[in-house]
Amino acid sequence: MKIHIVKIGGNLINHTEFLNHSLKSFLKLSGKKILIHGGGSKANIISDKMGITPKFIQGRRITDKETLDIVVMTYAGIINKTIVAKLQSYHCNALGLCGADMNCINSSFRSKTDDIDYGYVGDIQSINTSFIKFILNNNIVPVLCSITHNSKGDLLNTNADTIASYIAISLTKEGDEIELHFCFEKKGVLRDLQDSESYYKKIDFNLFQILKKNHTVKNGMITKLENAFFALKNGVLKVSIGHTDNLNENHKTILCL
């Protein structure tokens, strides 16, 4: 079956008006759909209030136990349930999930290197596609946050873009036609960060290598593009990066191999 997988992040989550608008665009997509969200900057605000300074290495949050509690509270708690309550108010039968629920997303602690101990960060081991299809087939809309688990009782922090790609790939392997949309507050991958209209219509893998080398893309955008190409290389039908306003239109960056 055809399934839209939409990942929302950035300022689309933090501002009520943007979030409402994004959810309405999401609901306009026809057919089966899955929503996946991060919430990093909201977690930063809550960390601040609790007097904890977030740590990052190469764009990835270093998650000690205290930080894990904050991201679980933020992603699986306030953001996930706010989205579910809003979707329910729009008559969408949403079900909020983290990776531990129904063993949706199994992960393992990321291996330490000499330089970095990521802490409570999980690398995905498996996706419970049969559960995801079970709920989609029952006309339920899953809303997944970026918390996974290792089946040993640990919750782990996992990049939401990566979760979106893995779910897209797992469902593709089951024979489903997946359109994967990475959405944020920009119209696409920008040539010039100061010019919101300067987005690339199309980026192929070679261009991505050039953009990385000349630093047109950096930090989180590299991770997003890597996840996008990882999905394409594993057979996902369509992958794009853009604003939720243009989910149903072509004003976005289309990725191709």
Number of CB atoms found within 10 A of residue 29's CB: 16
Q: Site size for a copy of itself, by CB under 8 A?
A: 40
Residue 64 or 69: the one with the smaller Cβ distance to a copy of itself is 69
Of 143, 138, 32, whose CA–CA distance to 81 is shortest?
143
Identify the residue among 5, 6, 84, 171 touching a copy of itself (CB under 8 A).
84
d(C-alpha 162, C-alpha 147), whole Å: 11
Of 94, 76, 159, 176, whose CA–CA distance to 121 is shortest?
159
Residue 88 or 209: the one with the smaller Cβ distance to a copy of itself is 88
Identify the residue among 3, 8, 76, 217 touching a copy of itself (CB under 8 A).
76
Q: Is the dihedral of CA 182, 187, 189, 194 positive or negative?
A: negative
d(C-alpha 102, C-alpha 157), whole Å: 17
Least Å from the CB of residue 103 to a copy of itself: 6
50 binds a copy of itself (CB under 8 A): yes
Contact criterion met (CB below 8 Å) for 146 and 160: yes
Residue 50 or 193: the one with the smaller Cβ distance to a copy of itself is 50
Binding site for a copy of itself (CB under 8 A): 46, 49-51, 69, 72-78, 80-82, 84-86, 88-89, 93-98, 100-103, 134, 138, 140, 147, 149, 151-155
